[in-house]
Amino acid sequence: MLRVQVSGHHKELLRTNLWLVPAIEVLAAIGLFAATNAADRAAYHGSFAVPSWVISGSADAARQILTTIAAAIITVVGVVFSIVIVALTLVSTQFGPRMLRTFIRDRGTQLTLGTFVGTFVYAVLTLVSIGGGPGGPYVPHIGITVTLGLTVADLAVLIYFIHHIATQIQLPEVIAGISADLSGAIDEQVGDGAARPGDPPVAALLASMPGPGGVVHVAGSGYLQYIHRRTLLRIAARAGAVVYLRYRPGHFMIQGSPLATVWPASAAGQVADELARAHVTGPYRTLAQDVSFGIDQLVEIAIRSLSSAVNDTFTAMTCIDWLSDSLCKVAGRWRPARVHRDRGGTVRVITTEPTYDRLVSRSFEKIRQSSRGLPAVLIRLLDGLTRIMERTTAADQRQVLLDQAAMIIQASDESVPDEPDRADVHRRYQALLAVHAQLTASPLATPGS
């Protein structure tokens, strides 16, 4: 059986647009018209009698019905587009412009647009099919009946869309949706493969390479969105080379800066000619291989809510809860492979990946800096660190959390004016230390932890 492999980048492109699903539904409407028109033609020629529930009438009546339905549907399509634009404008101003892609990729909006456009196309095709014939005027009775049925379905879809858009723009729903996408990205990247226990440290591996190596430069500025690691591995194996990528998805690359180092240096030209097929660069970041982007989206909402113009503490606390949930999934599982080998076991590609330490820092540092003087947010940060601490499996992971907690306590002591509030923050800190002590003393702790 032939299986088509679709990369995460292409999946993201296909999902993050407003044309794919409507185009599929329009094609489905054309196929439905072809089927019902064939049935109507067969009934017109006397091959079978149409059922009694099929709408009957003259050609003029049919034209009037279909014209009215088509005009009404295209009017509703305009209203739906207007609602979508208003929602996107609200999202951009309230949540930040980077949230727009989250709303564009929403399946409910895409299906609603596609349903109305598909119904309009079907009604127009049915209207055009009305005409004369050897047996008198040809009236597509089955097609008219199906059009009325689609119109009733459109009313249900319109009610669903109004409810859906009213729910979707609520902050808790936005935050939970981003977190769900982030969790999916974490699961996908963890599933791509973990580092082998026997892999040498990357620093030592790079130091052992012969000579400085050849440099491949960035062809065009933009964000690195996706790396086709299998393609890159085949390119390196075919050239008999080792390729070290200096950037990871999510990094901004400047044209002319070093993109990769190739050993031996003589293979750099061959690799440079083919490297464009192994990565995708664009004007924005995506979640395909960049889990840091999902974290940054939640952090952006949190720090916007903590600004003096908004002052929405509870939204920031909600973001912290979902960030903690995502980092609980990362703790103990985040070991992305940086060293990639060919089928013969030879090292061919060395990539750059975000570390556990960096993911924790991205999640907490900016929120901590924006929450000085807000004990409720500082307490929620410590609660989140405690929940993550319970999922850690090694001492170095726990030390990262302790370092973050120490900075939160320092921020509390320096910025919270009331002693009872500072005492509340310190109690949460002591609870975190108690969990750390329990995990350190546990006989189930990992060796060396």
What is d(CA 190, CA 337) in angstroms, rounded to the nearest whole number?
Answer: 9
End-to-end CA distance of the chain: 48
**95 is in which domain, residue-wise?**
8-169
Per-residue pLDDT, 174: 87
Residue of 259, 206, 268 whose CA lies nearest to 236: 268
180 within some domain: no
Q: What angle do CA 289, 7, 98 make, to 5 degrees?
A: 45
**Do 122 and 253 lie in a common domain?**
no
249 within some domain: yes
**Do 272 and 319 lie in a common domain?**
no
Tokens matching residue 71: 């005009």
Tokens matching residue 48: 């079978």
**Do 370 and 418 lie in a common domain?**
yes
Per-residue pLDDT, 7: 55
**Do 44 and 95 lie in a common domain?**
yes
**Do 324 and 251 lie in a common domain?**
no
CATH number for the domain harbouring residue 263: 3.90.1170.30
Per-residue pLDDT, 121: 96
Please, are residues 22 and 113 in contact by the beta-carbon 8 Å criterion?
yes
**Do 311 and 405 lie in a common domain?**
yes
* Exposure class string for 110-133: b at 16+ Cβ within 10 A, else e: bbbbbbbbbbbbbbbbbbebbeee
Tokens matching residue 420: 């009872």
Please, are residues 223 and 209 in contact by the beta-carbon 8 Å criterion?
no
Q: How many CB atoms lie within 10 A of CB 134?
A: 7
From first to last of the 449 residues of the chain, give the pLDDT tens digit: 333 345 556 676 777 788 899 999 999 999 999 999 999 999 988 888 888 888 888 899 999 999 999 999 999 999 888 888 888 887 777 777 777 777 788 888 899 999 999 999 999 999 999 988 777 889 999 999 999 999 999 999 999 999 998 888 888 888 998 898 899 888 888 767 666 776 778 888 888 888 888 999 998 899 999 898 888 999 999 989 999 999 999 999 999 999 999 998 989 888 888 888 888 898 988 888 899 999 999 999 999 999 888 888 999 999 999 999 999 999 878 888 888 888 888 889 999 889 899 999 999 999 999 999 999 999 999 999 999 999 998 899 999 999 999 999 999 999 999 999 999 999 999 999 999 999 988 655 544 43
178 within some domain: no
Residue written as token pair 């995460």: 8
Per-residue pLDDT, 446: 46
192 within some domain: no
Residue written as token pair 């089927």: 35
